[in-house]
Amino acid sequence: MNDNTLRMQSRNTSAQALISNIAIEIENLTVNYGKNPVIKGLSLEVPVGSIYGFLGANGAGKTTTIKTLLGFRPPNSGRARVLGYDVVSQQREICRRVSYVSETNSLYEYLTISQLCHLCRDMQQHWNQEIVNRYIHTFELPLNKRVKYFSKGMKSQLALCLALGNDPDLLILDEPTTGLDPVARQVFLTTLVSDVAAAGKTIFFSSHILSEVEAIADHVAVLHHGSIVLNDEVDNLREMQKVLHLTYVEQPPAEELERLRRWPGVHLFEQEGRTVRLRIEGDVDALTKSIQARPYEPRNLEVVSVQLEDLLIEYIKGGGK
C-alpha cells in the first residue's frame, strides 16, 4: 500500500469523524496504574469545532486520559476514537492530524527556533512554515537564541507555534499556559480563539486556571476521581444554579431555617442574622413561591446566577456533592 493510498484512507476516515460531528469519542474507558483504576468507565464526546475545557483536581485523571487519547497509554477496557481513529490500532493516523502541547514542553533545548523548525518540517508529512513564523512573530520569540535560555512561558509559546505547524484538525493542550505572565497568557488565549478555533479546528485542553476556561471554552467537563461529574455547554452551566438572597424583618425560627436548608437541590446554606443565602439547583421558582407563601416571608428576595468559576470549583473539589 503506497503513501497516496494511506493518505486517502486517512482523509476518508477523518471525513467520517467530521460527518458524525464528533472529534473525540470515549466509551466506558478504564485505565489502571497497576491494580489501581485511575480512569473509571469514562464516557465523553467532544464536538468538532468546539473549545472543550477538561477540568479536575490534581490526580483526577486528566493527563492519563490525554495520554490514552494520544496512544501513549493503552486502556484496560472500553474504547476511544480521535477524529474517527481508534487510539489503540490507528496511532499513526492520529499523529498526522493531531497536535499536542504538554505542560512540560519537552523541546531540544540545545537548538534554536530556526533549527527546531527545520527538524519539525523534516519529521512532519505536512508543514506550514508561514503559519509558524506568524505565531513566532506574534509572541516575539528570538529565532537564533537557544531554547535552553528561554523562560518557561516562552517555551510554552514556542510549543504552541510548533504544534500549529502541521495544520492539525485537533489541538490537545495539557495545562498550556503554565508559567505565562498575565499579558502572555492573554495573547496565548487570543491566538487560540481568534485563529485556531475560528478556522474550525477543535481544541481540547486541561487547565487549573478557571478564568481562562470561562474566557474561551464553549464546553466543559469535570473529572473527579476518574469519573465525569459535570459535562455541559458553558452557556447551560451559567444557568445551572441560582443564588437566593433573603432578608427578613426578623430572624426566622430555627425550624424555618432548617426547612430551607433541606429543600431539594440546595447546595449551600449560609445564614447571618436576618440574612440567608441559598445556592440551589433545580426548580428555583417553586422554592421562591413557597418562601413567599410562608408566614415568615422575607422583606427582600433576590435571585442571581452563580458565577461559573464558583460552580466549577464545587464540582472539582467534591464532585458536586
pTM of the shown model: 0.82
pLDDT recorded at residue 232: 93
The fold of 3-233 is Rossmann fold (3.40.50)
pLDDT recorded at residue 46: 96
Please list the residue range(s) of the chain that carry CATH number 3.40.50.300. 3-233
In DSSP notation, 188-231 reads HHHHIIIIIGGGT-EEEEE-S-HHHHHHH-SEEEEEETTEEEEE
pLDDT recorded at residue 48: 94
Structure-block grid coordinates of residue 122: 523534516
Asked if 80 and 68 count as a contact pair (C-beta separation under 8 A), the reply is: yes
User: What's the pLDDT tens digit per position in 143-187?
Assistant: 889 999 988 888 888 998 999 898 899 999 988 887 778 888 888
* pLDDT confidence tier of residue 227, bands split at 50, 70 and 90: very high
Asked if 77 and 100 count as a contact pair (C-beta separation under 8 A), the reply is: no
* pLDDT confidence tier of residue 23, bands split at 50, 70 and 90: very high
Distance CA 105, CA 159 (A): 6
**CATH code reported for the domain at 241-305:** 3.30.70.260
Please list the residue range(s) of the chain that carry CATH number 3.30.70.260. 241-305
